[in-house]
Structure 1
Amino acid sequence: MTSPTARIRPAAPVPRPLADLAAAFGLAPTRPLPAQAQVSAVASDNRVVAAGDLFVALPGARSHGADFAADAVGRGAAAVLTDAEGAGRLADLDVPVLVVDDPRRVLGPVAAWVHGAPAEQLVTFGITGTNGKTTTSYQVDHLLRALGRRGGLVGTVETRAGDQVLPSRLTTPEAADLQALLAAMREHGVDALTMEVSSHAIAMRRVDGVVYDVAGFTNLSQDHLDFHGDLDAYFAAKAELFTPERSRRGVVVVDDAWGERLAATATVPVETVRTLPAAPGAPAADWTVHDVAPAGTGSAFTLRHTDGRTLRTATSLPGGFNVANAALAAVMVLASGVPLAEVTAALAAADGLSARVPGRMEVVAPGDARDPRVVVDFAHNTDALELALAALRPTTAGRLVVVFGATGDRDPGKRGAMGAAAVAGADVVVVTDDDPHDEDAAAVRAAVLAGARDAVGAARAAGRAPELVEVAPRADAIRRAVLDAAPGDTVLVAGRGHETIQEVGGVDLELDDRVEARAAVRARAERNTSA
């Protein structure tokens, strides 16, 4: 897991007068501010505070950030911003203390102000949805770089600011960290930003202080209901990205009812993209996908606008859902104002939307006359698992094998459905652990297995005979699946993708599905050699 101190900052921040900050946001000092008081960055985590920072002490469910203010000052914080409760705990602090009713609400805008509004100096793209955010963000970034832009990327897999690369702790960083990152990007000459924007980030105000030039929506299906409560609340969080407070324009894939609902209710101008046949009575989409055809490992396709404009390109990733991701990426760049002719030329020079995304339909072993194909994918909910299996089925000559589990302490309602989806889409289903967190791993597997067993009965009644096994721990499940597979089979290891840490009972264990899959492939080769 990434250390909390792994934070990208600008190398040469410009200090801002504390009095000007207080006046700009109506922040009340507990005592007169020294005329020379300045701040050069903002932090809401005392562990990442550096000299000259404004430490924002937020109220929390279990503790108040004011309780960590002394440590922040010891690390160099020049001032503290908090609420009245926090200020009451800081009477003896020897740095200026500013007070506001809701410090979380002003955290993002304050950090943006301190860093000189860095997002306003970038062309910004924000992508939300249940599945496909990471892939779409990589494809947008790929196209921007093909257009000659110097791109920055923020998302689930990694954070890039110029030549600096860090693994990501959160899909979307906390507000203060995000603004520091954007300021660092500006220093590195970055002129275009592509970000995944999670529903958690919107609800928890992590992207406050950024108004995206173009917001994109992939799709919506059951996920994160442990946080949001129900699908309507989950949708509402994502729909907030398509308001003037958070974006200037949007691009929405309308292949599902949620996309159609968002397009109808967004309060910014929206272009729509449809990659599947429209339901009777559905409104026409602005852009539609036509003439999808196999192309290498992925698909070629044509995007056609209602005004007659067309764009022929391809994605290197398999599956119809990756056509949708690629189409969304292309239209988002077009919506930012880049002419169609420039996008067409850039895509032709860059072999289409060919960005390889770590842990997203990543082929660990291509398969041959002696060995199966092995693929690792992040599919961690029902819809994503169904789509991944459906994408691999047409190119699998033998059996389709899936190794997967469900996450502990997260949305237990989807576990049985994931088991059923695996049985419906695969010939061999290996149920194992994902990240149990603080739940009993066997109990999580049992919930997945219950849904899978019900689906096995239905499949057998319909003339199919899927095989269902339980294997734990996860490394053993991957090894067994690869060793037991036959030439022509495909083994899909689903659920964790790029992740390298498995949390079990509060303990972080090193576990990378790609590493384990490659080790299993090597073990198979050794077995074949000695046979």
Structure 2
Amino acid sequence: MRPAVVTPVPLGQVFSDLPARLPPVEPVPGHDDAAHVQVTGIAIDSRMVRAGDLYIALPGSGRHGASFTAAALRAGAVAVLTDEAGVAAAAGTIDRVGAVPLFRAAHLRELVGPLSAIIFNSQPAHASRPALFGVTGTNGKTTTTYFINALLAGLGRTTGLMGTIEIHAGGQPIASALTTPESPQVHGILGLMRERGIETAAMEVSSHAIDYRRVDGVYFDVAGFTNLTQDHLDLHGTMDEYFAVKAELFTRERTSRAVIITDDVWGLKMAEAAGADVLTLRTSVTEDDDAQPKGGGMPLHAADWQVRDVARQGLGHRFSLHGPAGEQLTLHSGLPGTFNISNAALATVMVLASGVAVDDVQHAADSADPFSAAVPGRMQLIGDRPAAIVDFAHNPDALARTLESVRPPAPEAKLIVVFGATGQRDQTKRPIMGATAARLADIVIVTDDDPHDEDEAEIRQGVLTGAQQARDADNLACEILEIYPRAEAIDHAVALAGPADTVLIAGRGHEVWQEVKGVNLPLDDRVELARALTRYGFSVHPSHRIES
């Protein structure tokens, strides 16, 4: 996705417009005739090159991008930029395939985002660029971005979206392969939004995106922080390193305003570390407003915005939101889970931080009910009796919050959970997730998630060990089952359920493929859950009904 029309930019101007702090770009002798070259796009994947593109040949884990220079030239690349290691391969290909200028620079990754912003004209200085909201944190990013967009739509704004589930730039939604796309795609999408007159856009910003420089050159009008809990330690190593990556989003170089939930010590640390103008938000409600968070820090009552007066309303909640100057809003979320109060409050304060008046936000909240917007695979209700829910909860904190929020009210009713763990990811969280399920559910069914190239049985055993140890240590009454494949586990869960029970299918959410040993197998938890409900005579919401 990129603009339909891009004004050609002289290649020399593109390089000269780069900030002085970035590595210099130098022509390779003998391949430096760039006087008349103009570019209309940029790509780091030879398969995505279009005519008029600058191809950046990056080093890869297996092969260097310079080895794909021929494919890039055949697709229409008008210039190549690589590092010292790629110069020889790129130059040899250019000599054989076609004469285009060749450039080299160190630390190529640092250049991709800024170059993309220049070429696609997505810099924040552009008058018609959409106002941009970025959300980071371990859990809640997807739902918060959907809530932001729903609230902005209620205010009459046109909206765009970049995230885990889909990319939306005013036309047909496109399924997303990454939480945050690579930076040429990010800037191309922003350029497309500008071209289509989209006024606002919300983007999920993962730690991978920051670490891999996918959002370099992007400037957010408002950035929000949900929470930080154990996840992605296979990439970051420690929670402190994970935090440090997230904190990069809240520097002056990336955003002007930050809204940070300070319900725990990580949120307080983020508020203190942020270089942008910070608004703090407290969404956890306790009887003691002067409570100190675990780990120390400022009293929780010191937050600028605070959630109060939480009350159940149907499956969701009604609550009030109080601001630093006496502002007060009354809000509602129809989605289950107290964490959706946090997501709704964060979305609200981020929109307020962008300059929208409190009265306008209250009117939009009343008229559009933005915080009941359906989010695919996020607390998605497939049936009511039993309550049959699909959620993306795939780490210990998210699983705990979800299980706590869907516990059926009747004392004799059962909470049944089906989940697994992803292969080739942080193995330390597997037994923690098993223990969490054992402590909070009545029936725990351990199955497969996405094993990737790892042995499925070993993954399941890691989860089962945690569940069984917690059951034995705490003398719990829960039943623990191992059932696979996943579709059979979902079917068995519904077979065990009565109308008053709750069946939660956790971990995969909106995903429709299960990756096993390099093969993508069709598997949609929502479809399997609807099929099982139908098989056992339970009702299914109209949008999920299975035709017989």
| TM-score normalised by the chain length of structure 1 | 0.94
Query: What is the match of residue 308 of structure 1?
Result: 326
Q: 8 Å contact 1:211–1:247 — kept in the other structure? A: yes
CA distance in 1, matches of 2:161, 2:329: 25
More off after superposition, 236-245 vs 281-290: 281-290
2:328 pairs with 1:323 = no
2:5: which partner in 1?
A: 12
Cα offsets for 1:148-188 (capped at 9, x unmatched): 11100000011101013100000000011111111111122
1:417 aligns with 2:432: yes
Deviation per CA, 1:455-498: give whole Å up to 9, x if none. Answer: 111343xxx41111000000110011112211211000000000
Aligned residue in 1 for 2:80 = 80
| Residue identity matched to 1:259 | G
User: Within 2, Cα distance between the matches of 1:98 and 1:354?
Assistant: 51
Structure 1 contact 459–465 (Cα < 8 Å) conserved: no
3-state SS in 2 of match to 1:252 = strand
1:310, distance to aligned residue in structure 2 (A): 0.5
1:170 aligned residue: 178
* 1:428 positional shift: 0.4
Q: How far 1:53 moved relative to its partner?
A: 0.9
Partner of 2:187 in structure 1?
A: 179
User: Which range moves more in the overlay, 327-336 or 20-29?
Assistant: 20-29
Structure 2 residue 236 is the aligned partner of structure 1 residue 228: yes
* Structure 1 residue 24 displacement after superposition: 2.4
Alignment of 1:249-328 (within 5 A): 249-276=257-284, 277=286, 279-280=291-292, 282=299, 284-328=302-346
Cα 1:73/1:396, change in 2 over 3 Å: farther
Partner of 2:114: 109
Residue aligning to 1:339: 357
Alignment counterpart, residue 447 of structure 1, candidates 462, 472, 477: 462
Deviation of residue 285 (structure 1)?
A: 0.3
The residue aligned with 1:362 is 380
5+ unaligned residues in a row in structure 1: which ranges? 1-7
Letter of the structure 1 residue corresponding to residue 71 of structure 2 = D
1:409 positional shift: 0.4
Question: TM-score under structure 2 normalisation?
Answer: 0.91
Letter in structure 2 aligned against 1:55: Y
Q: Residues of 1 paired with 2:463 and 2:532: CA distance?
A: 25
Amino acid at match of 2:133: F
> 1:179-198 residue pairs with structure 2 within 5 A?
179-198=187-206
Partner of 1:5: none
Pick one of 490, 494, 502 that aligns with 1:490: 502
After the TM superposition, list the runs of 4 or more consecutive aligned residues in structure 1 that deviate by more than 3 angstroms. 394-397
Residue pair 2:408, 2:415 contacting (<8 A) in 1 also: no
Tell me the CA shift for residue 32 of structure 1.
Answer: 3.2
Structure 2 counterpart of 1:287, one-letter code: W
Which residue, 335, 340, 348 being the options, matches 2:366?
Answer: 348
Q: How big is the shift at 1:352?
A: 4.4
* 2:478 counterpart of 1:466: yes
Correspondence for 1:27: 25
RMSD of equivalent CA atoms: 1.5
How many residues are matched?
Answer: 513
In 1, Cα distance between equivalents of 2:227 and 2:479: 31
Q: Deviations over 1:278-309 (max 9, x none)?
A: 53352500011111111232111100013211
Partner of 1:387: 401
Tell whether the 8 Å contact from 1:381 to 1:414 is kept in structure 2 after alignment.
yes
Letter in structure 2 aligned against 1:61: S
The one-letter amino acid paired with 2:431 is: G
State the 1:500 CA deviation.
Answer: 0.7
Equivalent pairs: percent with the same residue? Answer: 51
- Kindly state the Cα deviation for residue 382 of structure 1 after the two structures are TM-superposed: 0.4
1:399 Cα deviation from its structure 2 partner: 0.2
- Offset at 1:33? 2.7
1:149 counterpart = 2:154: no
Deviation of 1:62 after TM superposition, in Å, equals 2.3
Residue of structure 1 equivalent to 2:295: none
Q: In the TM superposition, what is the alpha-carbon distance from 1:60 to its structure 2 partner?
A: 2.0
Cα offsets for 1:369-399 (capped at 9, x unmatched): xxx2210000000000000010011546610
Q: Does structure 1 residue 41 correspond to structure 2 residue 41? A: yes
Aligned to 2:546: none
- Please tell me the residue identity of whatever aligns with 2:110: R
Aligned residue in 2 for 1:3: none
Structure 2's unaligned 5+ residue stretches are 19-23, 293-297, 540-548
Give the conservation status (yes or no) of the 8 Å contact 1:118–1:182.
no
In the alignment, the residues of structure 1 paired with residue 538 and residue 240 of structure 2 have an alpha-carbon distance, to the nearest angstrom, of 52
> Following TM superposition, by how much is the alpha carbon of 1:502 offset from its aligned partner in structure 2, in angstroms?
0.6
Query: 1:159: which partner in 2?
Result: 167
